Amino acid sequence: MTARDDELRAFATALGLAFSDLALFGRALTHDSYLNEHPGEPLEDNERLEFLGDAVIDFLAAEWLYARLPDEPEGRLTQIRAALVRNDALGRIAASLGVGPMLLMGRGEAEHGGRKRARNLGGALEAILGALYLDSGLDAARAFIVPHFEDLLAAILRDESAKDAKSLLNEWSQRATGREPAYHAVETSGPEHDPAFVVEVRIAGEVYGKGRGRSKREASQAAAQAALASLRKRGLSE
At 33-80, the pLDDT tens digits run 988 888 878 889 999 999 999 999 999 999 999 999 999 888 888 888
Catalytic choice (54, 109, 135, 200): 54
Residue 32 designated active-site: no
pLDDT band of residue 161 (cuts 50, 70, 90) is low
Q: Return the closest-CA partner of residue 203 out of 220, 183, 185, 222.
A: 183
Would you state the pLDDT for residue 237?
A: 58
Residue span(s) of the chain under CATH 3.30.160.20 come to 161-233
Residue range(s) in the chain whose domain bears CATH number 1.10.1520.10: 3-136
- Compute the average pLDDT of residues 161-169: 75
pTM for the whole thing? 0.70
- Average per-residue pLDDT for the chain: 90
State whether CATH 3.30.200.20 applies to domain 3-136.
no
CATH number of 161-233: 3.30.160.20
Q: Judge whether residue 196 has pLDDT over 70.
A: yes
Residue 45 annotated as catalytic? no
CB 9 within 8 A of CB 22: yes
Picking from 177, 235, 237, the residue whose alpha carbon sits closest to that of residue 202 is 177
Q: What angle do CA 14, 15, 19 make, to 5 degrees?
A: 100
- The mean per-residue pLDDT over the stretch 119-147 comes to 96
Q: Whole-angstrom distance between the N-terminal and C-terminal Cα of the chain?
A: 68
Of residues 45, 50, 109, 126, which has the active-site annotation? 126
